[in-house]
Structure 1
Amino acid sequence: MTDVGVSSLLLPVVAAALVDRDGRVLLQQRPEGKSLAGLWEFPGGKVEAGETPEVALIRELEEELGIAVPHACLAPGAFASAPLGDRHLLLLLYIARKWVGVPRALEATALKWVRPAEMYALPMPPADRPLIGLLDALI
């Protein structure tokens, strides 16, 4: 397979583990009408053409939660790789402990603050699940 073929199959996605003072992480519930509706996920989204992962994540957090996260407050956390239909998802997870504003469910059905160990009991997308143990160790 050529490099062009590989790059067109990869779907780069960024997400944030927003961690509060109590060591809980914010999850959002995917709305009806979207793929994987009802599942709990880390907020974030697709990296658009011309964006760095950090710029994409800052944009997504503003659009989805109405919060501002300074670039300096994003720390690389972990990544996951999973098949997604005819493409392959590459999920880059960042950790953020500081942001401006109060997260609101602007695009999600609901928001929930949970400890990493509690995530195992929640229905989550396949790419998010392998990140739970890593988050538990990091936080």
Structure 2
Amino acid sequence: MEDIPTWVPVVALALSDGAGRWLMHRRPAHKQHGGLWEFPGGKVELGEIPRDALVREIQEELGLTIASDDLEPAAFADAGIVGAPVILLYRCARSSGPEPRALEGGAVGWFTHADISQLDTPPLDRELARALSGTGHRGGPS
């Protein structure tokens, strides 16, 4: 068997503002899924564990500091095809630092579950939002 990964591990953050809204990030236009809204996060690098990757990604993308101990697994989503990403969504109720800002371009905003359902999002983020709101199943293709 070749040493080629059969899936791409990706981590994402469901950060609550405590008032029923969740932080979403709009992808920069020049990136894959450019202009679409997603839960912030990114790829897990070789040798990283998912929680540490999410802490790193959130600092790089949004300038926020989160603690790996504050991350609670919330849901996952996959496209069900070889080589596709599997997104591991972690819930977090607190962060430190300034207000989140899109350091790599795009935009950020706080949205209710109803708002998120109206945003243009990649298919796997739609699945994650449904799972987070309790209106969908955890994981699997959408």
Both proteins in one fold, TM over 0.5? yes
CA RMSD of aligned residues (A): 1.8
For structure 1, the residue ranges without an aligned partner over 5 or more in a row are none
Aligned residue in 2 for 1:81: 78
Aligned residue in 2 for 1:15: 12
Give the Cα separation in 2 of the matches to 1:3 and 1:80.
Answer: 25
Percent identity of equivalent pairs: 45
Aligned counterparts, 1:1-139, within 5 A:
2=1, 4-5=3-4, 8-82=5-79, 87-101=83-97, 102-137=99-134
Report deviation, 1:137.
Answer: 2.7
Query: What amino acid is the match of 1:9?
Result: T
Count of equivalent residues: 134
Give the Cα separation in 2 of the matches to 1:22 and 1:71.
Answer: 22
Query: What amino acid is the match of 1:113?
Result: W
Report deviation, 1:108.
Answer: 3.4
Report deviation, 1:9.
Answer: 2.6
For structure 2, the residue ranges without an aligned partner over 5 or more in a row are 136-142
Give the Cα separation in 2 of the matches to 1:18 and 1:135.
Answer: 11
Query: What amino acid is the match of 2:52?
Result: V
Report deviation, 1:21.
Answer: 1.4
Does the Cα contact within 8 Å between 1:116 and 1:132 map onto a contact in 2? yes
In the TM superposition, what whole-angstrom CA distance separates every residue of 1:104-131 from its partner, at most 9, and x where no partner exists? 1101311110011211111001111111
Q: Secondary structure at the match of 1:68?
A: coil
In the TM superposition, what whole-angstrom CA distance separates every residue of 1:85-106 from its partner, at most 9, and x where no partner exists? x721100000011111121110
Does the Cα contact within 8 Å between 1:30 and 1:39 map onto a contact in 2? yes
Give the Cα separation in 2 of the matches to 1:137 and 1:108.
Answer: 31
Name the structure where strand makes up a greater proportion of residues.
1
Q: 1:79 to 1:118 in 2, by over 3 A?
A: same
Report deviation, 1:61.
Answer: 0.3
Give the Cα separation in 2 of the matches to 1:73 and 1:135.
Answer: 17
Q: Where does structure 1 differ by over 3 angstroms across 4 or more consecutive aligned residues?
A: 2-5
Moved more, 100-109 or 129-138: 129-138
